[in-house]
Amino acid sequence: MKNKKNIAIIGLGYVGLPLAIEFGKKYKVLGFDINKSRIEELIKGKDSTYEGDLIGLNIAVNLAKVSDEKGLTFSSDASELKSYNVFIVTVPTPIDKFKAPDLKPLLKASEMIGEQLKKGDIVIFESTVYPGCTEEDCVPVLEISSGLKYNVDFFCGYSPERINPGDKINTLTKIKKVTSGSTPEVAEVVDSLYLSIIDVGTHMAPSIKVAEASKAIENAQRDVNISFVNELALIFDRMDIDTNDVLDAAGTKWNFLKYKPGLVGGHCIGVDPYYLAHKAESLGYHPQVILSGRRVNDNMGMFVANKVIKLMIHKGQKIQGAKALILGITFKEDCPDIRNSRVVDIYSELNQFGLNIDVYDPHADAHEVEKEYRITLIDKIVDQYDAIILAVSHKEFLVLNFNTMSKGKSSVVYDTKACLDREIIDGRL
């Protein structure tokens, strides 16, 4: 553990790449990903996630060319991992179609690392999991594939990722980092490692399980709070009052938490509560609040679609064959991340009503959208529509002329983000 730290980052997505860049400025770092096209892209100095600091990337890569002790290189060859003694795992931890944790990427990464593991090595997990997953699920795989013994031959740590995709202010080095280790000594090593790149400091949790739980409740808390205002939106819609007007009024009190209603997707808030619920249920406790919040949030896309249909009927439109435009399919604004996008729920519901639907999103990768959701994005807006739904508030959408995109006064414009001028919309969340 006192040896020079050579770090391998496993998974170069929204979490892994920023880590690789920052560590690459101070340590010898290998950025590893099984996706060869991703490796080729990064070698060329490009990043399709928008999360990498390209200037920092260039600095870290150039360092590797002149130093044997610092700098960042990339590879998809697992055999190269043998030269490294600290492994940081940042692979996805999604849910399956039954909303149960899908640990396949995490366990495959653990197996691959185990095959290269040596005595004294440290494996740090950043992927979001349920409390206990590192030591109960990942460590046995590491032991079997390496033939080494946990906390004797190799050690583990857990430091939950806190990347906020699309956020250019609260970036990796400006967000306090929770750290932990499998022994007190390893916890100190892991903490000092992160402290060397995190400007605002770290918080050392007393155990790996506590660190895992802290990440799970961060996003579960936000999910429950958003589900509350989403439920208010469902109630106030029946009262024919605007939810955002109510929130503006209530927000004048100093201790009111002003969450906004909306679609809850992405890899964190829409997924992590299911991990926490899964662990709770395995222990014989069926969580009430967490899962009720999930049910509310998962149904908001259907509510939006049905509201749009009602508004179209109210304006005398024929629904079957009507043409609709959905603006945005990523899970949040000004970001290319399409994981767990709940915009798809709006699309599916409108499709069942028989509408012809175009989806436009200049930030999303059309190939990825086609592969993941079987939805073909349009390259540009050329038609006029009976219904327009602003699903994601990309900056490009805020300057669009909705009059030219509408067929006329009978067209419906619905704003799920409450960011458009009220004079041009027919409804909003």
Active site residues: 268
CB 130 within 8 A of CB 212: yes
Rounded to whole angstroms, the Cα distance separating 229 from 173 reads 32
Rounded to whole angstroms, the Cα distance separating 5 from 195 reads 14
Rounded to whole angstroms, the Cα distance separating 237 from 275 reads 32
Torsion of CA 301, 323, 391, 381, to 10 degrees: 160
Structure tokens at 319: 């629904």
The candidate with the shortest Cα–Cα distance to 93, out of 104, 82, 85, is 104
What is the Rg, in whole angstroms, of the alpha carbon atoms belonging to the chain?
24
**No. of H helices and E strands in the chain?**
15, 13
27, HSE (Cβ side, Cα atoms, 13 Å): 23
CB 202 within 8 A of CB 179: yes
Kind and range of the H or E run holding 8: strand 6-10
The candidate with the shortest Cα–Cα distance to 114, out of 123, 102, 103, is 123
Q: Which long-range contacts (CB under 8 A, 24 or more apart) does 365-369 make?
A: 365/48, 365/336, 365/338, 368/338, 369/329, 369/338
Structure tokens at 43: 């070698």
Between the CA of residue 258 and those of 254, 353, 371, what are the distances in Å? Answer: 10, 34, 36
Which residues does 379 contact at the CB level (< 8 Å), separation at least 6? none
In sequence order, the β-bridge partners of residue 387 are: 324, 412
Structure tokens at 37: 């096209």
Angle at 339 between CA 269 and CA 291, to 5 degrees: 35
- Quickly count: other Cβ atoms within 10 Å of residue 97's Cβ: 6
**DSSP type of residue 150:** B
In sequence order, the β-bridge partners of residue 324 are: 357, 387
CB 244 within 8 A of CB 258: no
